[in-house]
A and B are shown apart, each in its own frame.
Chain A
Amino acid sequence: MNVRVLFKYWRTILIVAEMTIRQQLMDGFIIFTVLFQPIIIALLALWMLKGKGPDYAIFVVVGSGLTGLWSSLLFISGNSINAERWSGTLEPLVAIPTPFEVIIFGKNLANVIQSLLSMVLGYIVAAFFFGYDLTIVQPWYFAVSLALSVFAFISFGLIIAPVFVMNPGVRAWQNAMEFPVYLLCGFLFPIALLPGWTTPISYLLPPYWAAVSLHGATTVGTAPNEIFFAWGMMVLFSLIDLLVASRLFKLMLYKARADATLGME
């Protein structure tokens, strides 16, 4: 999928996103993943990092929000194609003239946008229940970082979904992929605490660059160059992800049609 396709089908993307959000508001598991789990993690982290001083509260708000974004991407966006399969709507979606990846892009957009609510709730918890004075040091950098993070997460999700569909063996590891990314991407503590050999893995994960830019924009003393570099990495990874996703979707749909297994697990 290229960026031109996204512009051409922007209305479809928005409608899919709207319908997805409406549908998911009734799903207890999704509500838990998007709202409750990040809030519980935020509460835990606020208690645990109390000794670090009030400056860490905004770090926790952003970090716990990122955990919500990742969990939502992994469990909800990861199953976005399978969900259509389970509800019997996959065949019509594949048959319509709109490219199938556009539909999945819209679904991922909905998932990522609704996950941002966890950051807002984390902010409310830290500000009102714990009484922290929360300030975003560089609001413009934060806004750009957030927009690029959303795009990077959606693009990454476009790779995860077809991989899970084509490889049920990989999807079996879905449960085990949640916390390693929390660890490797430095959502709530610096990756410098981890063994050195894990650092290159972190660099290959778009959520890591999202964490670098968002934490950078909210923390005092971060050099702008560091944030700009993280933006560049997110753009680069997003483009690579879109390119790879395009190939994966073609391969998946070809395999499904050739093997006549579209609706089967």
Chain B
Amino acid sequence: MRVLSSNLRLFWQGTLLSYRALFHWLRPAQYVASKVFMPLAQMFFFVFLGTFATSASNAGFYIIGNAIQITAVSGIFGVTMSVGGERETGTLPYLFGTPANRLVTFFGRAFMHILDGMLGVVIAFAWGVILLGLDLSHTDLPALALTIAVTTVSTCGLGLLMGCLSLITVNVMFVNSFVYFLLLIFSGANVPIAELPNWMQAISYALPLTRGIAAARLLVGGAPLADVAPLLWTELGVGLIYGLIGYVLFSWFEFIAKRRGILEVF
């Protein structure tokens, strides 16, 4: 019982402090700019581009795709920086020096970003309804909320893996920006997956977000939860696999770094 409570405390403190440190909470403008305005401006850009490419009647396709894709801001950038930031700020040796449970420490880095990512998607949908006329009248809203939650969790799984990789590179921003922008192509947010070449489709289905976006589109179109349940289960599975690979690599990097004495050597 004592171990459980101390792990819970570690989880909560780790998640809260890493999140606070990331966004310099003394300057809320930085948060609003990076987490609210940037993703919304990006969403508007692709919605206008999409409607210009096809027609205004297709706006829903782009609004839903890009609204869900916003979860990657937290899932990729946020989580990656939370894990990778330990090395940049010189706190990695202290972290590896503690007897703290690594599983709790590792997954704790993603928790706040899951909540934050979900909030970002909800804000995007709200703007989509208010400013771009997205119709949610036929949507099972609790099912859509579940889809948002599942997709955010799975994207954070990929973020954990990226964060782990950022421990062995100096170009953290290159890695996460690259993955973030690739998701814009591969997730089907802006280009229907069926229009992509076969090899790209295979990559799409191996990534988080793809099924989440597809499920959200079906739900907004009036489909019940039962119809999208298989997509959501698979989405969750994909995210968990990425998260677990990230955890295994995290543990392995710690082992190698300690053995060779290269904890802060890039």
- Using a CB–CB distance below 8 Å, which chain A residues touch chain B? 28-29, 31-33, 36-37, 40-41, 43-45, 47-52, 169, 172-176, 178-180, 182-183, 188-190, 193-194
Contact = CB atoms under 8 A, between A and B. Distances in A.
B33 A176 contact: yes
Interface stretch (B143-151, B172-180, B205-213, B220-228): B172-180
Question: Interface residues of A: mostly helix, strand, loop or mixed?
Answer: helix
Contacts, number: 93
Contact of A40 (B33, B38, B175, B181): B181
Question: Interface residues of B: mostly helix, strand, loop or mixed?
Answer: helix
Contact of A48 (B42, B53, B170, B177): B53
B30 interface: yes
A29 B174 contact: yes
A29 B170 CA distance: 10
A173 B35 CA distance: 11
A164 B51 CA distance: 34
A101 B185 CA distance: 40
Contact of B41 (A28, A29, A178): A178
Interface in B148-178: 170-171, 173-175, 177-178
B185 A44 contact: yes
Q: Which 8 pairs, one residue from A and one from B, show the smallest C-beta to C-beta distance?
A: A28-B171, A28-B174, A176-B37, A179-B41, A189-B52, A176-B33, A48-B53, A29-B173
Contacts of A48: 49-50, 53-54, 190-191
Contacts of B29: 169, 172-173
Interface in B186-200: 190-191, 195-196
B63 to A, nearest CB: 14
Interface residues of B, number: 35
Interface of B: 27, 29-30, 32-34, 37-38, 41-42, 44-46, 48-54, 170-171, 173-175, 177-178, 181-182, 184-185, 190-191, 195-196
Contacts of B195: 47
Given A36-B178, A176-B37, 17 more contacts: A28-B170, A28-B171, A29-B174, A36-B181, A47-B185, A48-B49, A48-B50, A48-B191, A49-B52, A51-B54, A169-B27, A169-B29, A176-B38, A179-B45, A183-B45, A189-B48, A193-B51
Contacts of B175: 28
A262 to B, nearest CB: 22
B42 A179 contact: yes
Contact of A179 (B32, B38, B52): B38
Given A47-B195, A173-B37, A32 B45 contact: no
A175 to B, nearest CB: 5
